[in-house]
Amino acid sequence: MSACKRLIYLVKHRSLWTYVRRNVATWSPVGAAFNTKPHRRLDLHEKSVGLFGVPELSCPAGFQVASKKSLKNTELLVEKVCNCPPGTETVESFDQLSDGLCKVADLADFVKVAHPDPVFREAAEKTCIEIGTVVEQLNTNVELCKSLKRLLDNPDIVAQLDSDTRRVAELFMFDFEISGIHLDDNLRKEAVALHVKLLDLNNEFLVGSHMPNRIASSAIPAHLHLQFENEGSFIQIGGLHAESPDSLVREIAYRIYLYPNAELMECLEELLKCRYKLAKLVGYESYGHRALKGTMAETPGKCFSFITTEPSLYSPYLSLGACMEGLNNLFFQLYGVSLMSEHPSPGEVWSEDVRKLAVVHETEGLLGYIYCDFFHRPDKPHQDCHFTIRGGRWCQETGQYQLPVVVLMLSLPHPTKSAPTLLTPGMMENLFHEMGHAMHSMLGRTRYQHVTGTRCATDFAEVPSILMEYFATDFRVISQFARHYETGQPLPESMVARLCESKKVCGAADTQLQIFYAALDQLYHDKPLDRSTTEILKETQQKFYGLPYTPNTAWQLRFSHLIGYGAKYYSYLMSRAVASMVWKQCFVQDPLNRDMGERYRREMLAHGGAKEPMLMVEGNLTCLTFFFSPNLRKDCFTFSHSSN
């Protein structure tokens, strides 16, 4: 029996664990891959295949080679698009153009954040800026826009397009419009200059928001020095230490990590000014109006209406390997999909701790690859996130589907000699959340990469990941994988019940916090600031949050979501409302129901952004409550993950 067939057989029969003498659990291939350290390759003569198997990226200089190759191909495709007759080929060429740039830019966007080698990070950052500048220039290229306009202005041609092609064409036109294609030459040049300036400001703020603050060691009680990282006569504080049991450690970290940084404050204020100026230049009332066009919320007004109405005993049962086996089991039962551990080729990954998973469907075969960068290392950002490295699309030129490639990045502790990596319930939920994003990318089968996987409306993109949090706290799911790493004993149902009850205790506070974040984000992007961002923070916190503002802190300078989610942070709340509806109508009775899993994939996951978000939701639910109705707002604030 092949390894693939054997794993599928094991999953089907739920025989994920076998027990040897002394009751020590052993693991299936996927579980073992994450509960043990990888074997280091010793063959120094093997040739590097390059990061993610891209030959050019065997060294940092390869980014320039890849960028140059991509930009040359871009020139050829631009010429092709501008000269081909209007029709499906026009849209396909646009998507190929986007795909070629995204393959380099998305990969570089990840490497500049995650690679341990600063030379690689610097090369990737330069590539991001170079590709980003070209993208902004293309978004205001009049001839490119005219080629698309010739298509969309011809009703006879539009009538011949399939629904996916028509939507992608409209989305590309939308990108032109919000970039200022309708402006005269001078104003278009000004819009491009603002876009390029924002690329630099975005990068500066992102880097700064993750930089540690430092303080003289003498200012911290000596017995607490070991809690933080030492740097000569200084102590570095790179996070809030929110999980520390010591209240003094938490207070020190909060006050020092959030202490205002004048340069970063200036960067944020300039960034917000540039965003507002750009939005006004291209014809929007505010950056919030520009950012929300095409989303489920539609306008800042509706967004505000939505957001203003309403150390663990578990860890030994939640080894990383057990949780990965649980995900493997869940995905097979819902979608017929298995996670297969693969050994990466030399040079393919940026750290020896990275695991590579092939996602294999029982009948469709290989769906794509997930690189799991799960473990803490120096200089790695302390954030959990999903990166698209390569989007899926149907390749007309090869007659094959371009398989998606993504990275999941967490910051988990390393396994030790005596124990595997053990997760808190919160870590486990985050793992399920990020894997929801990954499976959105893997299970999509879109014709165009421009709308693949998570490339959809921001307030819809979080639905699959938040839905996974419901599975992560349902005993019927947990009971299939939560086993003590030493004895193999299952996690008692009573402990799961207590965990679910504990979530209700802070549920309202968490909702209130998210509303505060969302409101602050909207106010920053509503109109030109008439006072400092800190004053706005203080006023908003007093209005929307139960805990008072702490003097001499500037939390907004650590709010890195202002870059990727500018004017769209409300999306988490709205996505939670939709995920709640999907859970209650589709999975609450039976979270392992294959028919519902297939339906959910067919109606919501498969389309990426190729369909309107509300149409996907309507297609999946038996009935739909209008989004801004009182019932839906009530659903938004229902955070109990129990099956009741």
E strand or H helix at 405: strand 405-412
Would you state the torsion angle of the CA atoms of residues 575, 597, 604, 451, taken in this order, to the nearest 10 degrees? 110
The C-alpha atoms of residue 372 and residue 359 are separated, in whole angstroms, by: 12
The C-alpha atoms of residue 556 and residue 258 are separated, in whole angstroms, by: 8
Catalytic member of 348, 434, 469, 603: 434
DSSP letters along 228-288, please? Answer: SEEETTEEEE-S--TT-S-HHHHHHHHHHHTS--HHHHHHHHHHHHHHHHHHHHTT-SSHH
Helices (H), 444-492: 458-461, 463-472, 475-478
CA distances from 299 to 56, 285, 604 (A): 43, 10, 23
Return the CA Rg of the chain: 25
User: Angle CA(171)–CA(172)–CA(178) in degrees, nearest 5?
Assistant: 85
User: Angle CA(404)–CA(576)–CA(607) in degrees, nearest 5?
Assistant: 30
Cβ count within 10 A of residue 457: 21
SS3 369: strand
The answer to whether 57 and 63 have CB atoms below 8 angstroms apart is yes
The answer to whether 568 and 459 have CB atoms below 8 angstroms apart is yes
The C-alpha atoms of residue 298 and residue 569 are separated, in whole angstroms, by: 14
Residue with tokens 């490339």: 455
The answer to whether 549 and 542 have CB atoms below 8 angstroms apart is yes
The C-alpha atoms of residue 569 and residue 557 are separated, in whole angstroms, by: 15
Fill in the amino acid letter for 620.
N
Fill in the amino acid letter for 475.
F
Contacts for 84 with CB less than 8 Å, ≥ 6 apart: 90, 93, 147
The answer to whether 506 and 513 have CB atoms below 8 angstroms apart is no
The answer to whether 589 and 475 have CB atoms below 8 angstroms apart is no
Contacts for 193 with CB less than 8 Å, ≥ 6 apart: none
Identify which of 394, 426, 425, 419 has the alpha carbon closest to the alpha carbon of residue 606: 394
229 catalytic, yes or no?
A: no
**Side-chain-facing half-sphere of 495: CA atoms under 13 Å:** 15
The C-alpha atoms of residue 483 and residue 176 are separated, in whole angstroms, by: 53
The C-alpha atoms of residue 408 and residue 427 are separated, in whole angstroms, by: 13
The C-alpha atoms of residue 502 and residue 312 are separated, in whole angstroms, by: 13
**Catalytically active residues, by annotation:** 434
